[in-house]
Amino acid sequence: MSGAFLAGVVAGYGIAVPVGAIAVLIAGLSARTSLRVGAAAGLGAATADGIYALVAVAGGAAVAGFIAPVATPLRWAGAAVLLALAAWTAWGALRSPGVTERAERPTTALRAYAGILGLTLLNPATVIYFAALVLGAGGAGGGAWFVIGAFLASASWQLLIAGGGTLIGRLLTGPRGRLTTALVSSLVIAVLAVRLLMPS
């Protein structure tokens, strides 16, 4: 039990810690709305990691083999969604500050959770990563503990990102600070979307 759980924790941090577009989105949501919304978004990303860990434990190589042929279309879809989010964030930020703030407040925790969950699920590399780890460890022994460990590790990291975004939001509470963080966030998301399309 403890070995599988620790393997899951290490795997969860391994997939969650590298800062990518999802982390930027979570931090940006927290900075512009609230910790509650950012935390919900973070839990959406952690749920996707947990789902992929479960899929990897249940299906292993078969699932990875099934996903490999559609990895490129999924990458393109993910990049398109990220570019649309970058454009939407920049457009909202460039409107008058009062309008931007009012427009961003309706973002609910449930919407943030569902949106980030869906976007994170567009990353087929995650299930391949977990499948390789599970197979490398000799199969799915202690599979449930592996999944729990991966989910908890990812959730703890995503909540840390959300808390950091809230802290930044408090430091940059004025209209100019909100504009700056929104534009920087949209630029970083756009760059990460382009990088997603580049061959590795």
Q: What is the pLDDT of residues 85-143, one digit of tens each?
A: 778 767 776 775 544 444 444 578 999 999 899 888 877 667 666 666 665 554 445 57
Please choose, from the candidates 86, 84, 101, the residue with its C-alpha nearest in 3D space to the C-alpha of residue 179: 101
Residue 189 CB burial class (10 angstroms; 0-12, 13-18, ≥19): buried
Given a cut of 70, is residue 14 above it in pLDDT? yes
The pLDDT assigned to 38 comes to: 92
| pLDDT tens digits along 48-99 | 989 888 877 777 656 556 666 766 776 777 678 767 877 876 777 677 554 4
